[in-house]
Amino acid sequence: MSINAYLNVKNIDKMLEQPPQAFSWIGFDSVDNCNLHCVYCHNPRTKQMIDLEKFERFIHHHVLTIENFQIGCQMEPSLDKRMVGLLQMIAESPAKPSRQFKVHTNGTLLNRHDARAMVEAGLTHLSISIDTVNEKTFSELRGGAKLERVFRNVKQFCETCPEVTVQFIATVTQANVDEMDLLVHKGVAIGAKRFHFREMFHDPRSPIVDHQKMEKLLLPPGRFQRLKSEIEKNYGDQVGLFFVDSPAIRQYGKEAHRNSR
């Protein structure tokens, strides 16, 4: 039976104690940090990085087979200068996935990594966290990040690697919910083929987020469902669309936190 697993700097030693297994999905954060401070991010951070010897031992001796491998889950993989090398290590091990080989990033540092080398290592999917095409809203939600830079990096990647499926992942809040239609429109124009919308959730117990801001960003009841209907009506026959409401996101966050320890 195949299982899902989340691998990071905190649990690598524990994972190395497990017997070899068949995996359906492995999510992997090689760093425990991010270069942005999104207003809705609940994840604590450190300066730790994965030990390459331990990681290599895991992918060669603790993975029997795997269908999907994702680099970048809760943290930002492009902060790691070794990112392309990690993809290559995975590609040359039993952990090379049979279905999807994905990098998930905020896109701000994507230009620092060799796109063609990523494809040569077997990359099949690139997902980008991007919430709006409004520069002011984007900067406010994503800790001062520059929208123009992200779009330029993604456009360049799409032109260099047209065979890779590019997906936008948007966290939907009261601040950007009315901008989702335009996000899809402009995303399609630069090469994105899938769009994943996640309703923002608020954990009032979090010691990290600004709770006053979070409460203002929460969607009113029913608004996410209306967004889903609007986007499906306008784009459902053109691109891949995925929607996850806040209860499902909250449950995923609990499970990821539990598995990361």
Query: Distance of alpha carbon 95 from its chain centroid, rounded?
Result: 19
pLDDT at residue 5, as a whole number: 97
Question: What are the structural domain ranges in the chain?
Answer: 3-260
pLDDT at residue 259, as a whole number: 45
- State the pLDDT confidence band at 40, using cuts at 50, 70 and 90: very high
Q: Which of 171, 173, 129 is nearest to 151 (CA)?
A: 129
pLDDT tens digit string along 195-249? 999 999 999 999 999 999 999 999 999 999 999 999 999 999 999 999 999 875 5
Q: Which of 228, 210, 231 is nearest to 219 (CA)?
A: 228
Check pLDDT > 60 for residue 193: yes
Cα 261 from Cα 258, distance rounded (Å): 6
List the structure tokens of 232: 């499906």
**Angle, CA of 128, 131 and 136, to the nearest 5°:** 125
Residue given tokens 């090379």 in the structure block: 96
Check pLDDT > 60 for residue 250: no
Cα 153 from Cα 252, distance rounded (Å): 29
Average pLDDT over residues 27-55: 96
pLDDT tens digit string along 133-160? 999 999 999 988 999 999 999 999 999 9
- State the pLDDT confidence band at 2, using cuts at 50, 70 and 90: confident
Cα 222 from Cα 202, distance rounded (Å): 16
- In the sheet with 21-28, reading across from the earlier edge strand, the strands are 3-7, 21-28, 63-71, 100-105, 125-129, 165-172, 194-199, 240-244
Average pLDDT over residues 109-116: 98
The domain over range 3-260 is classified in CATH as 3.20.20.70 = yes
